[in-house]
Homo-oligomer: A and B are copies of this chain.
Amino acid sequence: MTSVPAALYRRVQEFYAAQMQAVDGGDGVAYAATFAPDAIFTSNALPAPVHGRSTIEASTTKLTHARLAAGTVRRHLQTTLVVDPHPDGSLAARSYVLLVETAADHGAELYLSTVCEDSLVPDGDTWLVARRSVLRDDLP
């Protein structure tokens, strides 16, 4: 079991909460701003890695606007966060992100269970995602 300073762990929780609320609210610009300019985003749901903040911003904005236009609310519920500081000042952060969707005129439904594995780099008093790997539990 690793141990990180309390202030650090709290700031990482806070970072993720703000990031998840930004993307769920349809704010692709604020979401993308939490990634490094040269960030790499990989997933077992993607055919190839996505490179760069501007590409992340464009694709996130497109997808979230389509979802909001359809009247579907998505929530990224982040839990069970483990943070490991590395000697170079970066953090390895691994958490469970449960995606819950509520479509217009429907009840809430589990959409996906995922694991989010990030490399976070310091940026002033907060962090930027340098590399993100999203692993969907329903895909190999």
Spell out A's residues near B (CB within 8 Å): 1-7, 9-11, 13-18, 20-21, 34, 73, 75-83, 94-96, 98, 100, 102, 105-113, 115, 125-126, 137-138
Contacts and interface: CB of A to CB of B under 8 A. Distances in A.
A109 to B, nearest CB: 7
A82 B76 CA distance: 13
Given A9-B13, A77-B79, 10 more contacts: A3-B14, A6-B9, A17-B82, A75-B96, A75-B113, A102-B137, A107-B110, A107-B138, A108-B138, A109-B110
A18 B75 contact: no
A65 B111 CA distance: 26
Contacts of A6: 6-7, 9-11
- Copies assembled: 3
A9 B14 contact: yes
A138 B102 contact: yes
A98 to B, nearest CB: 6
B10 A138 contact: no
A1 B21 contact: no
Nearest to A94: B21
